[in-house]
Amino acid sequence: MARVVVITADAVYQGDVELTAPGGQPVRFLDALRTPQRIGQGAIGASPGLVLERVERTPRGGGEALSFPQAVTLRPGSILAAYDLGEAQSAPKTSYEQRSPELSRVRLCLEGRLVLEGTLSGGTRSLDAVRGQTFVACTDVELIASPRRRLPFLAVNTVRIESFAVLEDGVEAPDTAD
């Protein structure tokens, strides 16, 4: 189980997700967001979703947090961004999603007033949800708008991006030494 944070337009969910495929193979959190059917069934009769356990839902605009004793299924289309708390505690391996030599530092404005700055592997082409992945990896992220936070890794839903600006092209890749 991995402890994760999932940001939607209305709330921040924190819960546990099983990151193991039915055959016992580990699944990266980014891949679980892209294809949640790899790790679970989701709600019966519904499209695949990300199933979280031991969930706390906190409204983004303020208000009382709710705890759920039962599993909660989040539809991937409702997710703006997400991160694994284990990855947030330490720098991610640079090989996680930085295979492309083209890196761009960008500012992304997502629905729900979520604004962030981060480094994208593959440049702005990786933001094309029609041709690429729905969720892309941003590294060295600063969440500008609520909740304000620095993260080494954040998965961003490209379908939920309202606008973006390139801050710097050709950003230098982080040192890959362990």
16, 54 contact by CB (below 8 A): yes
pLDDT of residue 93: 45
Fold exhibited by the domain 2-89: SH3 type barrels. (2.30.30)
56, 65 contact by CB (below 8 A): yes
Length of the chain: 178
**Averaged pLDDT score across all residues of the chain:** 82
pLDDT of residue 64: 94
83, 153 contact by CB (below 8 A): yes
Quickly tell me which residue has 């994208």 as its tokens.
120
pLDDT of residue 98: 47
pLDDT of residue 174: 53
CATH of domain 103-169: 2.30.30.100
pLDDT of residue 158: 92
Delimiting residues of CATH 2.30.30.100 domain(s) in the chain? 2-89, 103-169
CA distance from start to end of the chain: 24
R_g (Cα) of the chain, nearest Å: 16
pLDDT in tens, 143-155: 997 667 899 999 9
pLDDT of residue 176: 45
How would you write the pLDDT of the chain (178 residues) with one tens digit per residue?
899 999 999 999 999 999 988 788 898 999 899 888 777 654 444 457 899 999 999 998 888 999 999 999 999 899 999 999 986 545 444 444 545 568 899 999 999 899 999 999 877 788 875 565 689 999 999 999 766 789 999 999 999 999 999 998 766 655 544 4
* pTM for the structure as a whole: 0.83
Residue 96 carries which side chain, given as an amino acid letter?
A: Y
> Among residues 61, 30, 19, 22, which one has the least CA distance to residue 156?
30
